[in-house]
Amino acid sequence: MKRVVALIGLISVVALVLVFTASAEGKTSGARNDTIDVLYSPELSGLLDKWVDEYSAAHPGELINAHGIDDPQGLSLTDNGVIGIVTEEYLHSAGRKSLWSMVVARDVIVPVISTRNPFRKEINETGISPGKFSGVYTEEGKLTWGKVLDSDADAEVNCYCVGDKSLKFCLAQFLQAENLTGNVAQVSDSDELLGSIKGDPYAIGFCRLSAVIDYTNNSIKEGLELVPVDINANGILEHNENIYSCLNDFNRGVWIGKYPGALCRNIHTVSAKAPIAPEEKDFLQWILAGGQAYISEAGFSELVPGERQPKIQALTAEQVSVVEDESTGINTARIFLLFAAILAGGLLIYVVIRLLNAGRNVKRIAPENRPGGFADNTLETPEGLYFDKTHTWAFMEKSGSVRIGIDDFLQHVTGDLTKVKMKVSGESVKRGDVIISLVQNGKQLDIYSPLSGEIVEVNKSIINNSSLINLAPYSEGWLYTVKPNNWIKETRKYFMADSYREWIKTEFSRLKDFISSLSKEADEVSYVQVVLQDGGELKDKLLSDYGPAVWEEFQRGFIDKGKGSM
């Protein structure tokens, strides 16, 4: 045994020496040269000028060589140390099979009407489909609002569009038509367009989102309103399409793909390989942080806060997204580090085995107690509580008030929460109203109230420490106490513990199918395949591995479906 241990130890030492040598080489190769070469597509020239000026002022001594390119084929990223900042069509036309890429801003085009439009209520209820928009902007002859809204209104639609090349490119993609009719009034800029729409209640126009935002109040400018897009053209603005209630909801909807892709172009930073030079990473991190403040000045849309931080962390940890990059090499230092870890692990296993053979007993963890997973038979289901299909619970106290919270199933699925959005004491709620939003790094689930009544008390502890919901959903992590309005009638739709346990088995089975379908279909590089563990357990905190689009799917499939039974 001594010889084996000595041999393994010797090999480990040699491997560690190689690791430190490789690391030293890596540090030498990653030394700062304080010069960054940037290529950009022409419509981003204003944005790049602002970024270069502001970054250079904050980082004196660092030089950014920025060059515009008129042709996507000019996006030459064969050499390390060259960064491209380009719109989406440049990225797809660059002629490379693999590029490192990260979204840093967006170019969002929106349809706008006046708040004085006499048909705004109907427009907000039904939206306007892409086909109807196409008719408005491409059909010859007189077009009425009645034709757009399938009514008998004979007021004529007055169309406007900014004469901007890149904006018209997006609009052509959305309308599936290259040429607009002569009925469309071309204006010189967004200010002229918005002025025309404010002065004409029958007008409609397309412009950039940044032009219609009142940044002081974080809202749409007074007198204007965004036109909802009925994406599936069914004449109803469904839950998945209704992102227009406020500016924050709209921006979040754009981020997670609820807005038509033709009206939203991503602006990417790209390079041949993942940036490793300190000056490059510093510049990109600045773009995702302080640099976002200058995006709207150039006419584009910044990323939502919940989207920025994971990207910054990815750059810091050198965890980057690569699109079909099979040529990316593996860092030599990591190979040796892995080799050393394997040897050290082998040594540890060898020692443990020797101890076991010597009579030392190691207690095995039973499958049902194994940490890191959860199953329907491991969830907490306290007696005496009422459970609802929206994964909430209710309990009437001696005072007559009802304490409510979320169930153990839901906190296992979401994982550690970073924020909650709550109502305040004194507010009235109805069964089925959104009563709390659970947030994890910008991703969100809206949870519905299991009963109607007036909020008596808010658990302020979870506002400052949302992890209490994960740690103790049935005790310290409660949400509210509510004075009920219709307790007896509403309890008829609740589960007690035994029937809830049977129902949760069905939910758990549906969750397995849900995750399995995502593993097969997901195409985002950030999605991590979630596998079933031994004993039929699911990975704990499994939604943490997925992006906001999957959270929306879970919202519809599990939370909203439960609301539908109310």
User: For residues 236 and 381, what is the distance between their CA atoms, to the nearest angstrom?
Assistant: 39
Residue 506 burial by Cβ neighbours in a 10 Å radius (0-12, 13-18, 19+): exposed
**Whether residue 261 has pLDDT greater than 70:** yes
* 143 and 135 Cβ atoms separated by less than 8 Å: yes
Question: Which position has the higher pLDDT, 310 or 295?
Answer: 295
User: For residues 253 and 258, what is the distance between their CA atoms, to the nearest angstrom?
Assistant: 5
Q: Where are the alpha helices (DSSP H) in 59-127?
A: 88-92, 120-126
pLDDT at residue 525, rounded to an integer: 36
* 559 and 445 Cβ atoms separated by less than 8 Å: yes
Which H/E stretch holds residue 368? none
pLDDT at residue 361, rounded to an integer: 37
pLDDT at residue 412, rounded to an integer: 92
Q: Show the CA angle centred on residue 423, arms to residues 420 and 429, nearest 5°.
A: 130
Q: Could you tell me how many helices (H) and strands (E) the chain has, helices first?
A: 19, 23
Lowest pLDDT segment from 52-66, 341-355, 369-383, 486-500 = 341-355
pLDDT at residue 90, rounded to an integer: 75
Listed in order, strand segments (DSSP E) in 355-452 are 373-374, 386-388, 392-396, 402-406, 419-422, 428-429, 434-440, 443-448
pLDDT at residue 376, rounded to an integer: 78
Three-state SS annotation for 501-557: HHHHHHHHHHHHHHHHHHHHHCCCCCCCCCCCCHHHCEECCHHHHCCHHHHHHHHHH
In tens, the pLDDT along 184-234 reads 888 888 999 999 999 999 999 999 999 999 999 889 999 999 999 998 888
- CATH number listed for the domain at residues 372-566: 2.40.50.100
**Whether residue 413 has pLDDT greater than 80:** yes
pLDDT at residue 347, rounded to an integer: 58
Question: Which position has the higher pLDDT, 564 or 267?
Answer: 267
Mean per-residue pLDDT, 335-364:
51
R_g of the chain, CA atoms, integer Å: 28
User: For residues 150 and 314, what is the distance between their CA atoms, to the nearest angstrom?
Assistant: 49
User: For residues 308 and 555, what is the distance between their CA atoms, to the nearest angstrom?
Assistant: 23
* 554 and 539 Cβ atoms separated by less than 8 Å: no
pLDDT at residue 197, rounded to an integer: 94
Residue 65 burial by Cβ neighbours in a 10 Å radius (0-12, 13-18, 19+): exposed
User: For residues 5 and 346, what is the distance between their CA atoms, to the nearest angstrom?
Assistant: 10
**Rounded mean pLDDT of the chain?**
80
Q: Show the CA angle centred on residue 139, arms to residues 133 and 143, nearest 5°.
A: 75
Pairing outcome for strands 402-406 and 480-484: antiparallel
* pLDDT band, very low/low/confident/very high, at 356 (cuts 50, 70, 90): very low
Which H/E stretch holds residue 385? none
In tens, the pLDDT along 63-118 reads 888 888 877 666 666 555 688 898 877 776 655 556 788 899 999 999 999 999 99
Half-sphere exposure of 193 toward its Cβ, with a 13 Å CA cutoff?
25
**Whether residue 526 has pLDDT greater than 50:** no
**Whether residue 326 has pLDDT greater than 50:** no
In tens, the pLDDT along 441-493 reads 889 999 999 999 999 999 999 998 999 999 999 999 999 999 999 998 999 88
Question: What residues contact 467, with CB distance under 8 A and at least 6 apart?
Answer: 416, 417
**If you classify domain 107-263 with CATH, what class do you get?**
alpha beta
Instruction: Tell the residue number behind the tokens 């990109």, with chain if given.
Output: 284
* 311 and 281 Cβ atoms separated by less than 8 Å: no
Pairing outcome for strands 322-323 and 185-187: unpaired
* pLDDT band, very low/low/confident/very high, at 169 (cuts 50, 70, 90): confident
Question: What residues contact 472, with CB distance under 8 A and at least 6 apart?
Answer: none
* 383 and 497 Cβ atoms separated by less than 8 Å: yes
pLDDT at residue 501, rounded to an integer: 92
* 160 and 204 Cβ atoms separated by less than 8 Å: yes
pLDDT at residue 142, rounded to an integer: 76
In tens, the pLDDT along 389-410 reads 999 999 999 899 999 999 999 9
Q: Report which of 41, 115, 291, 296 is spatially closest to residue 190, judged by C-alpha positions.
A: 296
Both tokens of residue 193?
A: 């367009």
Q: Is 453 left (phi over 0), alpha (psi -120 to 50) or beta?
A: left
Where do the domains of the chain lie?
Answer: 107-263, 372-566
Beta carbons within 10 angstroms of residue 565's beta carbon: 9
Most distant pair of Cα atoms in the chain: their distance: 96
Instruction: Tell the residue number behind the tokens 């990591």, with chain if given.
Output: 334
User: For residues 227 and 260, what is the distance between their CA atoms, to the nearest angstrom?
Assistant: 13
pLDDT at residue 255, rounded to an integer: 83
Q: Report which of 311, 291, 306, 302 is spatially closest to residue 102, judged by C-alpha positions.
A: 311
* pLDDT band, very low/low/confident/very high, at 534 (cuts 50, 70, 90): very low
User: For residues 8 and 347, what is the distance between their CA atoms, to the nearest angstrom?
Assistant: 7
**Whether residue 279 has pLDDT greater than 60:** yes
Listed in order, strand segments (DSSP E) in 189-273 are 203-208, 213-214, 219-220, 224-226, 264-271
What would the DSSP string read from start to end of 185-237? EEESSHHHHHHHHHT-TTEEEEEEGGGGEETTTTEEPTTEEEPPB-TT-SSS-
**Whether residue 364 has pLDDT greater than 50:** no
pLDDT at residue 530, rounded to an integer: 43
Both tokens of residue 325?
A: 């990059």
The alpha carbon dihedral of 28, 30, 33, 39 has a sign of positive
* 300 and 315 Cβ atoms separated by less than 8 Å: no
Beta carbons within 10 angstroms of residue 196's beta carbon: 16
